Amino acid sequence: MNQVKLRVAEEKDCQRLLELIKELAEYERAPEEVTVTLAEFKDAGFGKKPVWKAFVAELDGVIQGFALYYVRYSTWKGCRLYLEDFVVTEALRGKGIGKLLFETIIQEAQDLGFNGMTWQVLDWNEPALNFYSKYEANIEPGWLNGSLSKDQIRNFQST
């Protein structure tokens, strides 16, 4: 395998990132959950008020993985890096690309002076759980995710 190149994502990368996001959603058994449009995704990362930043891993000029994060504020812990998506295309998993991306994200959290970093992982995703255990990550049981959809918010009426 040729040398993997890590760099900060650029707007021109958004189409490929969205392809990898959809690949991740397939792996996580939730392909219908990806509802963001390419225009929305670009605007959120490169518009007037960008909310995310990502690092990409390229091999032979093709993005094969990425790690996307944003700043999360915890009233208990302060500013923390929230790793929203971390994916390497299935054909190249286990080749060290994930390690490079994850360690780049840890370094970013350190460089920005964050008080930690957080992410989610599905409890059945053994490869991911094994990967995070190499970093002695704390995987917290007992937390349930709550959410409201775009339609639920749009249709909300105060009672």
Mean pLDDT of 20-36: 95
pLDDT digits (tens, 9 = 90+) for 65-121: 999 999 999 999 999 999 999 999 999 999 999 999 999 999 999 999 999 999 999
Q: pLDDT grade, residue 1 (50/70/90)?
A: low
Residue 23: CA count within 13 A, CB half-sphere: 17
> Is-catalytic flag, 135?
no
The first and second tokens of residue 104, run together, are 């780049």
- Pick the residue with more confidence: 34 or 138? 34
pLDDT at 154: 87
Q: Please check whether residue 58 is in contact with residue 88, taking contact to mean a CB–CB distance below 8 angstroms.
A: no
Position 144 scores a pLDDT of 67
Q: Give me 51's structure tokens.
A: 């909310």
Report the candidate in 2, 6, 108, 22 with the shortest Cα–Cα distance to residue 63.
Answer: 6
Fold of 5-154: Aminopeptidase (3.40.630)
Three-state secondary-structure class, residue 53: strand
From the list 73, 82, 132, 135, the catalytic residue is: 132
Q: Cα–Cα distance between 86 and 66 in angstroms, integer?
A: 6
Arithmetic mean of pLDDT, 14-33? 96
Give the pLDDT confidence score for residue 9 in this predicted structure.
98
Whether 146 shows a pLDDT value over 70: the answer reads yes
